[in-house]
Structure 1
């Protein structure tokens, strides 16, 4: 597992996967609300009927899609194709393709600043951070291309849209970038293979999931100091708010657990176990009852009942399911990635 996470050769090997013929895929079903799952290892989206929980269609993407993000007006869902160097815009309800935006180089992770002025992508393969001006729809123009080593991964924005934080997986650092000037403010060491980032309420602390370890680092980012570590499962990776003003979830891809963290006390208060291998991205239903999770190493996604904290349903999808999205989700309570 560690070799996959740390090896740059592994990243380039993944980039060599072939793009299957478009004609071999099923057309997306005309359903009002599909759950959209991004299959990184197959360059496809799986579309799942949110009533029957059956896969009703498959949509081809570009090569090596890893993350997705809705446009600020929720009219489109953007799929970032890192090796194809482009973005695919799809309908966020049905998954039906809308348009392509070319010449977006190596978009791995992506996100909009809270004021919607900036669109930012990390270039994991090219060691870069690209900052774009955003003027609505697919109107994206490059503002600055910044070298940023090594292997920039996840993003988190401050609420005032001035700073974007970037995790650097190989160097074990986080970087703070000033968006108005497009300059690196500072870098600091946080631990092995940092990935997911999360700002606690009021932007007080930056939480960092340590994929090369078994903890979340709590960073006082204004003073560039780690004030605490929170023990969770091995390969702590990504975050999702419980939208209760107090708790955030973190997935651990090796221990196969999801931990619950209190954002005020900075303590782990619970754990969801009994999961399939590689829990990664998460989405919460609008009523906050069910948590959908992608299992990177199992070719499945799962449905967790948050009242019992039990996995109650699994659905087979494509290889290496990564991002997940559905229109009727609970809002994200912090200005971070989808």
Structure 2
């Protein structure tokens, strides 16, 4: 008995192999390799996970057929999610349930729960992986955890309504938007103290560091702009109009451009160039686009539509909406493994 590719599950009689022509042998080997990949779980169709904040559920979506394959109850108010650094787990922040829920991103199955995490809203690992940071939107504070066992290491007051976070590349600071006081706060991670607080535009939400580590980009929902801040000097240098209700950022994957969601009912997504600090394109994406993710091949942008109970898939070649996927109520975070990058 001969084993193709050395795999014990796929034996073929040697006489059959000898009878095959050279071209057919190659075809058979290719088909068997594809089968092996499927057996080993590395060539699946692809799974996207979308959080439905108002339902307390997640929708599991086949990324090839754009269909929901399952809907799983998680907890009360799951808002944001992030992968672990090795991307073997997805962490869902369950704000009202005071816990983190871990899921396998390839299967959508729950792995574990970490309880006694007070009101987690937005989450983030520092680039050096030494800190796990969670904002508490309702309780007006920022919590610093040991990322290995989620032991609380520090808690800082952050009035009012700490929302999204970003880190500098050296993992020295974490920056937090204060949504209700129209400010950005910098926390020094080494000392676990507030380094500075500065005013920004109305209702700041998303925040991200520029690829050159020089500027913070802040999404001002109340002004419909991206505010450019030279963070080392706490200086606002520019406001760039995008559209109504500028909300969040997602890298395109080229270390230059960010997609910016404009979370109004009509809705749009802008493409922001960090070299020129200008908006270079805009796409109509209705329903309140919020969190986003780009496919690894750069051909699709997925966005949750908070007001439409959908995940919208934008074709980046044609620059048109490709498909709308019905999900649960108030979809927020979205993730899949085959992505172009997170920051």
- Does TM, scored on the shorter chain, surpass 0.5? yes
Q: What displacement does 1:209 show? A: 0.2
Partner residue of 1:100 out of 104, 113, 122: 113
| Structure with the greater alpha carbon radius of gyration | 2
Aligned 8 A contact 1:44 1:61 in 2: yes
Q: What CA deviation, in whole Å up to 9, does each residue of 1:262-321 have, x standing for no partner?
A: 101101111011x22101110100101100110000000111110111101001000000
- Whole-Å Cα distance in 1 between the matches of residues 46 and 115 of structure 2? 27
2:196 counterpart residue number: 186
Say whether 1:261 aligns with 2:272: yes
Q: Which runs of 5+ in 2 are unaligned?
A: 1-43
Aligned 8 A contact 1:32 1:94 in 2: no
Moved over 6 A (4+): none
Aligned 8 A contact 1:32 1:93 in 2: no
2:82 counterpart residue number: 69
Aligned 8 A contact 1:210 1:217 in 2: yes
Say whether 1:42 aligns with 2:55: yes
Correspondences of 1:1-338 after superposition (within 5 Å): 33-135=46-148, 139-254=149-264, 255-273=266-284, 275-332=285-342, 334=343
Aligned 8 A contact 1:172 1:193 in 2: yes
Q: What displacement does 1:132 show? A: 0.4
Q: What displacement does 1:205 show? A: 0.6
Q: What displacement does 1:223 show? A: 0.8
- Whole-Å Cα distance in 2 between the matches of residues 330 and 261 of structure 1? 16
Aligned 8 A contact 2:45 2:64 in 1: no
2:33 counterpart residue number: none
TM-score with structure 2 length normalisation? 0.86
- Whole-Å Cα distance in 1 between the matches of residues 161 and 71 of structure 2? 30
Task: Report how many residues are paired.
Answer: 299
- Whole-Å Cα distance in 1 between the matches of residues 45 and 326 of structure 2? 21
- Whole-Å Cα distance in 1 between the matches of residues 174 and 196 of structure 2? 11
Q: What CA deviation, in whole Å up to 9, does each residue of 1:44-85 have, x standing for no partner?
A: 000011222111111111111100000111111000000100
- Residue aligned with 2:212, SS: helix
